[in-house]
Amino acid sequence: MNLDFPNKLDGTARHNLILLKCDSNALYETIEQLKNAGVNTINVGKELSEKLLTVEVSKYIAIEAQEYIHALIEKQAVGIASGKPKIVALYNLGILLDQSLSLNTENLLKEFSKNITIVVVWEHDYSSGLLHWGVEQEEYYLNLSDIHVAEEGAAYEV
């Protein structure tokens, strides 16, 4: 896999959001390659679930979740190419669709990607801007069709 896309980033796009599609069998290999390229990776499901275990008042869970994810992305984003925007990779995003969190995941990703390049490492189904989870495609998906999502290896501008 060719991971030279950070060198192509220019930071002038409205959203710097990259879809890095990989086979489910190659997820951890892809994550290791990102780490070797200097890109920090965040297992969103693991990190957020651990944080939410510490939230004592359930009515604040959505606010805590959003603030924690934002802080985590800010903390983990790194500049790996001179003159290019900071970058971070996210995977295992399913928790962001949990109804009890009441998060608008698409808007969160858009907001984060204005200042930081967000690489979504995706090992599930993808078609026409919709990122699907397995057999429950109609119920669990991310709709990123209204912003430019580039698949690694394709010709793109971000």
Q: Which of 33-37, 87-91, 98-102, 140-144 has the lowest mean pLDDT?
A: 140-144
- Does 130 score more than 90 pLDDT? no
User: 88, 117, 141, 96: which is closest to 12 by C-alpha?
Assistant: 117
Between 1 and 136, the higher pLDDT residue: 136
For residue 63, how many C-alpha atoms fall within 13 Å in the half-sphere facing its CB? 6
pLDDT at 39: 93
Stated pTM of the model: 0.84
3-state DSSP call for residue 154? Answer: coil
70 phi and psi angles, rounded to 5 deg: -60, -50
Q: Starting from the edge strand earliest in sequence, which strands make up the sheet with 125-127, in order?
A: 125-127, 130-132, 141-143
Q: Which of 12-16, 69-73, 89-93 has the lowest mean pLDDT?
A: 12-16
pLDDT of 107-124, one tens digit each?
A: 899 899 988 999 999 888
Give the mean pLDDT of the chain. Answer: 82
Q: How far is CA 76 from the centre of its chain?
A: 12
Reported as a pLDDT band with limits 50, 70 and 90, residue 138 is low
